[in-house]
A and B are shown apart, each in its own frame.
Chain A
């Protein structure tokens, strides 16, 4: 990920008042993980699966803390049950940021299932989302996502397209 995009992600989190990150690592957003882990302003919790990351952030929201779950878009499938139960069943919102693995131009064959399933999964789970195609929109998308989370009480995802991540 280019340095300016990493910076835009982190600035977006700061501007939205987010200081808590639960994550699972992946390749395209590697620099974001390194940046927030090295920054004392963020409390960062490594989860063991993406559903757990989402639930940790949901708990943080209930306590009034602004949190984000960051993981590969494959994790959306893992987190589906948590998002359905907490998001639809209880109306507890969570912000997620994920790269669009399997996006047009992704050269890895194993990422293709992530491309196929991303949008249908987001829509089936009632997740409000934006696929960001321009690095200049990264920061504002994160801030707007938090505003939508707050007003809708829905899970919200900011998906960073391949041209933004690479």
Chain B
């Protein structure tokens, strides 16, 4: 199963009301090609994606947050699954694209190429319905179920290594941050970056 086919299957379920947090590497490049939007937060921050998505979901409880996570990043912060299981934000949908390696740095094995089972770890952390899919049909069904559901979901997609032939994404982390926050401001109809003055008393 190629990751970009999963992303193409997921994209029709993502609406203009959603916010998407995306892990680094090929996942971000491919998602940008499939569904470019300022409502995408591209993070180049291994181990940060899941907790950032959790914080965003708790800040905007009325809005659906979609997280496109990767095995290497999640393995760096497995404790975040324990927190996710306990908090269980109903507005967060997690998809882990597990290519069983550190592709971007040309290393073709990660722990999940061995015995490590991320869905089993998630289930052990109390995340209900955590599942693993291995074909595009299975992913399509799981994505539809997750996006139509009303609770936290966690789908691990076992994908083949390889990055689709898509365009590079210009910009940097600062620009990505500003574009995303401005998009959140437009969506929410309130300022986040505007001048702030506290009154001490």
Interfacial residues, chain A to chain B (CB-CB below 8 A): 15-17, 20, 22, 43, 45-49, 51-53, 55-65, 67, 81-82, 85-86, 89-92, 139-140, 143, 146-147, 150-151
Contact A65 B45 (CB under 8 A): no
Residue B55 CB within 8 A of the other chain: yes
Q: How far apart sit A89 and B80, CA to CA, in the bound complex (Å)?
A: 21
Q: Which residues of chain A come closer than 8 Å to B185, judged between CB atoms?
A: 64
The 9 closest A-B pairs by CB, nearest first: A59-B55, A63-B59, A48-B79, A55-B51, A65-B59, A85-B45, A59-B52, A90-B173, A60-B55
- Per-residue CB contact flags for chain B residues 185-201 toward chain A (1 = under 8 Å, else 0) read 10010101001111110
Closest to B77 in A: A52
Q: How far apart sit A81 and B46, CA to CA, in the bound complex (Å)?
A: 9
Given contacts A45-B58, A64-B184, contact A90 B43 (CB under 8 A): yes
Contact B83 A62 (CB under 8 A): no
Q: A55-B47, A59-B56 are in contact. List 11 more A-B contacts (CB 8 A).
A: A15-B199, A46-B86, A52-B79, A52-B80, A56-B55, A56-B83, A58-B55, A59-B53, A81-B46, A86-B45, A150-B196
A-B contact count (CB 8 A): 140
Q: How far, in Å, is A146 (CB) from chain B's closest CB?
A: 6
- Per-residue CB contact flags for chain B residues 141-172 toward chain A (1 = under 8 Å, else 0) read 00000000000000000000000000000000
Contact A15 B198 (CB under 8 A): yes
Q: Which residues of chain A come closer than 8 Å to B59, judged between CB atoms?
A: 20, 59-65, 67
How many residues of B sit at the interface, in one of the four size bands?
A: 35 or more
Q: How far, in Å, is B115 (CB) from chain A's closest CB?
A: 22
Contact A86 B48 (CB under 8 A): yes
User: Is chain B's binding surface mostly helix, strand, loop or mixed?
Assistant: helix
Residue with the highest number of chain A CB atoms closer than 10 Å, among B44, B45, B196: B45
Enumerate B53-81 residues with CB–CB distance to A below 8 Å: 53-60, 77, 79-80
Enumerate B11-57 residues with CB–CB distance to A below 8 Å: 21, 41, 43-48, 51-57
Q: Which residues of chain A come closer than 8 Å to B58, judged between CB atoms?
A: 20, 43, 45, 56, 59-60, 63, 65
Contact B47 A81 (CB under 8 A): yes
Q: Which residues of chain B come closer than 8 Å to A51, judged between CB atoms?
A: 47-48, 51, 77
Contact A48 B80 (CB under 8 A): yes
Closest to B53 in A: A59
Q: Which residues of chain A come closer than 8 Å to B47, judged between CB atoms?
A: 51, 55, 81-82
**Interface stretch (choices B93-101, B131-139, B174-182):** B174-182
Closest to A92 in B: B177
